[in-house]
Amino acid sequence: MEQPESADGPPVEALRAVFDVHEVRSDGRRRIYYGESLVPEQMLVREIWPSFRGAGYDVQAQVGDLGQTDVVIVEPASQGVEGIPWKNIALFALTVLSTLFVGAYAWYYIPLSDIVANPLVLLRAWPFTAAVLGVLSVHELGHYAVGRYHGVNVSLPYLIPFIFPFGTLGAIIRMRGQMPDRKTLFDIGVAGPLAGLAATVVVTVIGLSLEPMTVPSRVLAGSGDVIVFNNPPLLDAIATVLGRPTEYADPRTVVHPVVIGGWVGMFFTVLNLLPVGQLDGGHMVRAMLGERQESLAAAVPLVLFGIAGYLHYVRGLGLNQSVGLWFFWGLMSTFIAYNGPAKPIDETPLGPARMAVGLFTFALGAACFLLVPVQVIPG
């Protein structure tokens, strides 16, 4: 049975013009309209979204096959962070601890016995933690700030704790509700890489300006495998401008661990700019090319598998010399591409200025790319 609408509720008259309402139900803050759409699904959302959004509501539509009941779901639009974001805070704290531990043990060469005896020695790795979490957080906060500017419901960043080699798997945000148009989708997508790369350059400059580290003799005498992080072109370019080395003839001398924060920012930028699914590159290319993005996304796994095959069969590298890395991301991009990027309501193409910014951002991403970013060399 249809329920009466309050005067200050959703603008139901805008809905009735394109949707034959049979029943209205309430589910917490949501209001669900059952009935029959008088227009195709995409047109339905495009017609009613401006009125509902202007009244402070997000709206979604589910149009079924012929003879099935169609549904419109309406709920108040988020006005920002509600309450204390305990999950974000807990993940942030855990990631601080994980990066402090990995930084202290792997990059500051503090023995595990010393860490167990006095956990406060972990604080010696705070520059590494600040560098890694700084570039990742600035990246995600770029998305968040632009999303809030455009009135899109986006969450605060969720940092992901992990183990070696960096103590984290990165950070993500969640976008809810409808994407208004391609301009908004592009702005949110491009804000993260540009903000993250700016932070990456700053961190890299600081790291290269710091005094190098001395590797303890016990580490050099060890027989374990050695992980080598090769320099992307952007890192080499920054070092050249500063006139600072990134490696030393003396094996006991290595760059300061803060430089690794810059490396992490560059590597994660490359992965985020893959033009598939919900990755930044997927959103950007969807905004730049429209639905043609799907054809490009379908080719990404093939390219990544091709890189893995080239490194293995042509250059003779093994799984632990970035072959496994690119094969893994070939599989990941296959799954990521399945969901696709956000679909904007308004498909008006981008102007030349945003297209230029998009191409510039992908060019910066290319400057961070390396065929063999990581190698594991037997000790």
User: Exposed, middle or buried, 271 (CB in 10 Å: 0-12/13-18/19+)?
Assistant: middle
For the segment 358-362, the average pLDDT, to the nearest whole number, is: 97
Positive or negative torsion for Cα 99, 141, 92, 126: positive
The one-character DSSP state at 124 is G
- Residues 183-201 have a mean pLDDT of 96
- Out of 3.40.50, 3.30.420, 3.30.1360, 1.10.3470, select the CATH number for domain 12-76: 3.30.1360
The pLDDT of residue 310 is above 70 = yes
Please state whether 348 falls in left (phi above 0), alpha (psi between -120 and 50) or beta: beta
Give how far the C-alpha of residue 67 lies from the chain's centroid of Cα atoms, to the nearest Å.
Answer: 40
3-state secondary structure (DSSP) of residue 134? helix
pLDDT of residue 241: 96
pLDDT band with cut points at 50, 70 and 90 for residue 37: confident
Mean pLDDT computed over 76-105 = 87
3-state secondary structure of 66: coil
CB within 8 Å of 141: residues ≥ 6 apart:
157, 195
Torsions phi, psi for 240 (to 5 deg) = -65, -45
Residue 301 confidence (pLDDT):
94
pLDDT at 119 over 70: yes
pLDDT reported for residue 272: 94
Confidence class for position 66, pLDDT limits 50, 70, 90: low
Contact 193, 139 (CB under 8 A): yes
Tell which wins on pLDDT, 108 or 22: 108
What residue segments make up the domains of the chain, in order of their start? Answer: 12-76, 86-377
Rounded-to-integer distance, Cα 289 and Cα 284, Å: 9
- What is the spatial distance between Cα 283 and Cα 278, in angstroms, rounded to a whole number? 6
Tokens at 78, concatenated: 């988020």
Q: What is the rounded average pLDDT of the residues 250-254? A: 88
Query: Nearest CA to 25 among 36, 15, 33?
Result: 33
**Does residue 295 register a pLDDT over 50?**
yes
Tokens of 112: 């595990």
Contacts of 10 (CB under 8 A, 6+ apart): 31, 52, 55, 57, 74
**Statement: residue 3 has pLDDT above 50:** no
Contacts for 328 with CB less than 8 Å, ≥ 6 apart: none
Burial class (CB in 10 A: 0-12, 13-18, 19+), 174: exposed
Given a cut of 50, whether residue 334 has pLDDT beyond it is yes
Phi, psi of 191 (to 5 degrees): -65, -40
- Does the structure show a pLDDT above 70 at 266? yes
What's the rounded mean pLDDT across residues 151-174?
89
- Percent of the chain scored above 70 by pLDDT? 93
Confidence at residue 250, expressed as pLDDT on a 0 to 100 scale: 87
Question: Looking at residue 65, what is its pLDDT?
Answer: 64
- Cis check: omega of the bond before 165, within 30 degrees of 0: yes
